[in-house]
Amino acid sequence: MLHLLAETEASVNWPLEILKMAAPALLVLLGLWIWHLKKRSEPRYESLGYLNQKRLDGLLKAWSLLAYITEVENPKAVMLWEKDKNEAVYYIRKKQATEYMNALSAIFYDGGYGLLFSREVKDLFYEYRGHLYGVLLKDKTCAIGSGQENDRIKIEKTELVSRMREIYNKLNAQLREDLKKIEK
């Protein structure tokens, strides 16, 4: 009988048998460890997704501000132009200028999107606002917020007009570039 027992023990490969029993447990532990790492990094990915969504929302809001500063005539356009003899004469519409400044403040501060815009976008929007504010302050017929805001103010400086056009073009390009960064 001992001889038979010794014969069966010799044919069993004990390290292989132990490995067969331990392998499923090791695979389960490895799976749990990978699951834990994924779950641990999930909030970071969710917060990055949330920030990217907010940046996209902010870019859409900023894009809506371009309706105020475009040269294309629309109900929100701040700057209008008319042909007078051979040259174009540019005007600032007081009511729309005030609406632009209010909308800019609402988007930047109330919506909190000012935190997410690039420095160049912020600077360009506020440079445009500064030019508008300067024109409104120089105009002696209308105080900001009074009832005479339907009047137009003629822009005398051609440099100002060209700078305001340049701001629009830069903003348009920068917003598109920022959108491409979010898409990546």
- Tell me what pLDDT residue 71 has: 86
- Tell me what pLDDT residue 122 has: 94
Is 13 inside a domain boundary? Answer: no
Answer yes or no: are the C-beta atoms of 79 and 164 closer than 8 Å.
yes
Is 98 inside a domain boundary? Answer: yes
Give the residue from 68, 45, 65, 169 showing the smallest Cα distance to 117.
Answer: 65
Is 35 inside a domain boundary? Answer: no
Answer yes or no: are the C-beta atoms of 76 and 108 closer than 8 Å.
no
Catalogue the E-assigned strands of 52-110: 79-84, 87-93
Residue 149 — pLDDT band, cuts 50, 70, 90? very low
Report the range of poorest mean pLDDT among 2-6, 19-23, 112-116, 165-169: 2-6
- Tell me what pLDDT residue 83 has: 83
Is 73 inside a domain boundary? Answer: yes
Is 8 inside a domain boundary? Answer: no
Domain residues for the domain of 157 are 51-183
Is 57 inside a domain boundary? Answer: yes
Report the range of poorest mean pLDDT among 78-87, 114-123, 161-170: 78-87
Is 151 inside a domain boundary? Answer: yes
Residue 146 has pLDDT above 90, yes or no: no
Residue 5 — pLDDT band, cuts 50, 70, 90? low
Answer yes or no: are the C-beta atoms of 104 and 125 closer than 8 Å.
yes
pTM score, two decimals? 0.71
Report the range of poorest mean pLDDT among 36-40, 77-81, 137-141, 178-182: 137-141
Q: What whole-number distance in Å separates Cα of residue 60 and Cα of residue 77?
A: 18
Catalogue the E-assigned strands of 33-128: 79-84, 87-93
Domain count for the chain, please give it.
Answer: 1
Residue 114 has pLDDT above 70, yes or no: yes
Residue 3 — pLDDT band, cuts 50, 70, 90? low
